[in-house]
């Protein structure tokens, strides 16, 4: 039997349309599901919707419809977005499913029969947004400690789950299982919560007189269950009726629950104690990721800055969006979305690096090998650097994805892409092609670049499925391509060079004028939507710019250089030490680009440096030049050279 892998997203609340936060979690889960399928594992990927509760009832009332109609209207919008984002979920659960409601009632009755649910009168501060009660000491200035919204005092009789009696057992479980709550900072947060206060019992009902939209308690028809007791049970109820049976013993416990950091407590504490009470194993890992801001501000409808994933896909394409979400920030940290940052990733990483490598490799195979993959010669291989980097890539991706380090997994792929571009620059196939005696070396250089691309495409497939498929098609191999080992690309295979994977976006145009839609890329059938209106330009007062003479400018010697290696300077967040090739010499340069770039992503880049700058020491390390980069206060991007120019070429 193959190893099983059960991955879940939270089930999303249907009080509004899907936004970038929903897309982020779901794309991350999709990458893990696709990756583990690629490894031959038996994967079950669950997502869906949380359709009960007070917020849904209020949203429906505001829209002038009943709650079920409201849910039925919003559910297709989530399902449509998952289709657009190439989400490969195995099941989509809705908590209004008849089978789910029956399952929840069975579990409530079981806990009631065991004496773990009791009724009592209660007075407390209630937060409608979070749908939970808070004690007097929790509330500060009349505001909910979680969402900072006003609370109201309610007195009513409710049913309670004896959650408090599992406090010590849960603390012990977290201590003994280092990967149960991740990342480490979130694990410490949960442990601190449990160790510094007494865990109370959980109110698991709401009177129908106040809230009618929910699952009726099986032992009291005047109450519905608390939305979290309903929602969290979806992770096991889904296994009861959505996949082919038997499935519970096959997939439970879940391998990973992916959640946002705002619902970590409900999953790590509420859900865990509920499972303990039901005498079921706890999930292997609950991973809480960070939030997205927009241009440095929190997303909100009142600010009008909620990012619509559909609009992003319309303009930039689905794979560019998927890449940006998981490459821009380490998973688990908060991230900031900006249109400029997305365009920067497309132009630099996707167009300049990946797209350029594919285009130049296939162009030279067409010109110098009659359009078929050439036969390499071990004796003619000038060096094994690219081969070694490509061979190590699958193991690096395995290592990073085991830790949910999506960004680092992508960095390792781009490290190979950079080395492949450097490999072409260094070996200059256009020069080798001038003499017949160089044919074995020429063929080997071209084969190695193409085979490295094949391995990159294989590992990239979970992240960017359309792009990986197109890479493989143009290389002439099937999808998925043959194996993780070197040599899967067979000599004699006809290539199928086509349009560029990622055309560069003209950044001189205003928002709404520059569009790279998925319909402009090969093999796509997505139609563009109406462009967004151009962003208004702020009025500026012209500033006088100091002028220099041509003689002053000619004193500055600018040259191209290829980055051979890069590493962070210890104890510095900004500084990276580069080892660069200038053709006639190699130099060490310290550059303040560490907040914008990871060292691995710089290897192989063709950059521009000030070559005649007097050496200086930065944090005790000598820097023999200066790297040119764009940006005012912060580095926005490196100045790079697109064409295949020799290292050391003067920039005029």
Determine the pLDDT at residue 533: 30
In three-state secondary structure terms, 249 is: helix
Determine the pLDDT at residue 570: 85
Backbone angles phi, psi at 185, to 5 degrees: -60, -35
Q: How far is CA 213 from the centre of its chain?
A: 34
Q: How far is CA 110 from the centre of its chain?
A: 39
> Looking up tokens 């399928």, which residue turns up?
37
> Looking up tokens 């630099």, which residue turns up?
348
Which domains, from first to last, does the chain contain? 4-290 (3.40.50.620), 338-526 (1.10.730.10), 550-638 (2.40.50.140)
CA angle 262, 268, 274 (to 5 degrees): 125
Determine the pLDDT at residue 531: 30
H or E element at residue 580: strand 576-581
CA distance 50 to 266: 14
Block means of pLDDT (10 residues each) for the chain, 652 residues, are 94 89 96 96 97 90 93 95 97 97 98 97 82 80 87 90 97 97 96 94 93 96 94 97 89 97 95 98 97 83 82 95 95 90 94 95 95 94 92 96 96 96 93 94 97 97 96 85 85 93 78 34 29 30 60 84 87 88 87 84 86 88 91 81 79 85
CA distance 589 to 596: 17
Angle of helix 309-316 versus helix 20-38 axis, rounded to 10: 70
The two tokens of residue 294 are: 């927009």
The two tokens of residue 177 are: 């299982």
DSSP string, 499-545: S-SSPPP-TTSPTTT----GGGSTT--PPP-PPPPPPPPPP----PP
Backbone CA torsion sign across 518, 522, 524, 526: positive
Backbone angles phi, psi at 574, to 5 degrees: -100, -30
Determine the pLDDT at residue 131: 74
**Pairing relationship of beta strands 256-260 and 4-13 according to DSSP bridges:** parallel
Distances (CA, A) of 541 to 364, 536, 538, 545, 632: 50, 16, 10, 12, 17
> Looking up tokens 């416990």, which residue turns up?
253
- The pTM of the full predicted model, rounded to 2 decimals, is 0.77
In three-state secondary structure terms, 368 is: helix
Q: What is the DSSP letter of 85?
A: T
* Range list of H helices, 208-290: 227-232, 234-241, 248-251, 264-265, 272-277
In what order do the strands lie in the sheet containing 4-13? 91-94, 42-50, 4-13, 256-260, 285-289, 181-182
Q: What is the DSSP letter of 134?
A: E
Whether the link from the prior residue into 246 is cis, omega within 30° of 0, is yes
CA distance 404 to 407: 9
CA distance 56 to 481: 46
Nearest to 591 by CA among 97, 607, 581: 607
Determine the pLDDT at residue 295: 83
Backbone angles phi, psi at 586, to 5 degrees: -120, 145
Distances (CA, A) of 243 to 51, 74, 285, 544, 610: 21, 24, 22, 69, 62
* Range list of H helices, 333-485: 339-345, 356-369, 385-402, 406-427, 429-432, 439-460, 465-475
CA angle 493, 409, 310 (to 5 degrees): 85
- Bridge partners of 460, per DSSP, are none
Nearest to 626 by CA among 534, 552, 559: 559
Nearest to 501 by CA among 482, 478, 474, 463: 474
Asked if residues 471 and 439 have their Cβ atoms less than 8 Å apart, the reply is: no
CA distance 46 to 30: 10
Backbone CA torsion sign across 434, 435, 441, 446: positive
């Amino acid at each position: 039997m193959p190893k099983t892998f059960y991955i879940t997203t939270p089930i999303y609340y249907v009080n509004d349309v899907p936004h970038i936060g929903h897309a982020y979690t779901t794309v991350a889960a999709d990458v893990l599901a696709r990756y583990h399928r690629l490894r031959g594992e038996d994967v079950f990927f669950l997502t869906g919707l949380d359709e009960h509760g007070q917020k849904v009832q209020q949203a429906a009332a505001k829209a002038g419809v009943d709650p079920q109609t409201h849910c039925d209207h919003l559910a297709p919008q989530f399902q449509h977005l998952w289709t657009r984002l190439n989400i490969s979920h195995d099941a989509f659960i809705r908590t209004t499913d008849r089978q789910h409601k029956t399952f929840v009632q069975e579990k409530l009755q079981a806990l009631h029969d065991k004496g773990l649910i009791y009724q009592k009168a209660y007075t407390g501060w209630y937060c409608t947004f979070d749908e939970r009660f808070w004690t007097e000491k929790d509330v500060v200035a009349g505001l909910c400690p979680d969402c900072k919204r006003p609370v109201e005092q309610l007195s009513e009789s409710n049913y309670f789950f004896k959650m408090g009696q599992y406090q010590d057992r849960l603390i012990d479980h977290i201590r003994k299982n280092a990967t149960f709550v991740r990342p480490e900072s979130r694990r410490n947060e949960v442990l601190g919560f449990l160790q510094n206060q007494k865990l109370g019992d959980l109110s698991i009902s709401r009177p129908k007189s106040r809230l009618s939209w929910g699952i009726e308690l099986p032992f009291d028809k005047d109450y519905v269950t608390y939305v979290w007791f309903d929602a969290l049970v979806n992770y096991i109820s889904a296994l009861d009726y959505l996949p082919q049976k038997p499935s519970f013993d096959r997939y439970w416990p879940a391998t990973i629950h992916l959640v946002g950091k705002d619902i970590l407590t409900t999953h790590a504490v509420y859900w865990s104690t509920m499972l303990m009470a039901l005498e079921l194993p706890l999930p292997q890992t609950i991973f809480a990721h960070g939030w997205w801001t927009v241009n440095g501000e929190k997303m909100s409808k009142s600010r009008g800055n909620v990012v619509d994933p559909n609009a992003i896909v319309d303009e930039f394409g689905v794979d560019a969006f998927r890449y940006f979400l998981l490459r821009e920030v380490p998973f688990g940290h908060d991230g900031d979305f900006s249109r400029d940052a997305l365009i920067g990733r497309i132009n630099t990483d996707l167009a300049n690096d990946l797209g350029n490598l594919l285009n130049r490799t296939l162009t030279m195979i067409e010109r110098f090998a009659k359009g078929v993959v050439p036969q390499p010669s071990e004796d003619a291989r000038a060096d094994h650097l690219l081969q070694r980097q490509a061979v190590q890539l699958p193991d690096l991706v395995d290592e990073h994805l085991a830790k949910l380090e999506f960004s680092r997994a992508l960095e390792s792929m781009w490290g190979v892409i950079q080395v492949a571009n450097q490999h072409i620059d260094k070996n200059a196939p256009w020069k080798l092609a001038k003499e017949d005696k160089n044919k074995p070396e020429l063929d080997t250089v071209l084969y190695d670049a193409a085979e490295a691309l094949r391995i990159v495409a294989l590992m990239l497939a979970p992240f960017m499925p359309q792009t990986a498929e197109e890479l493989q098609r143009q290389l002439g191999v099937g999808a998925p391509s043959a194996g993780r080992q070197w040599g899967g690309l067979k000599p004699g295979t006809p290539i199928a060079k086509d349009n560029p994977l990622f055309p560069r976006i003209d950044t001189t145009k205003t928002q709404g004028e520059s569009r790279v839609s998925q319909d402009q890329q090969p093999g796509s059938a997505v139609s563009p939507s109406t462009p967004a209106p151009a962003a208004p330009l702020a009025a500026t007062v012209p500033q006088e710019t100091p002028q220099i003479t041509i003689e002053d400018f000619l004193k500055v010697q600018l040259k191209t250089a290829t980055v051979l290696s890069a590493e962070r300077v210890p104890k510095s967040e900004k500084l990276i030490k580069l080892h660069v090739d200038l053709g006639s010499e190699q130099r060490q340069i310290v550059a303040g680009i560490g907040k914008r770039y990871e060292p691995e992503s710089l290897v192989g880049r063709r950059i521009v440096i000030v070559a005649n700058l007097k050496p200086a020491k930065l944090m005790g390390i000598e820097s023999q030049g200066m790297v040119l980069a764009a940006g005012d206060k912060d580095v926005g991007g490196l100045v790079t050279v697109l064409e295949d120019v020799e290292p050391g070429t003067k920039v005029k």
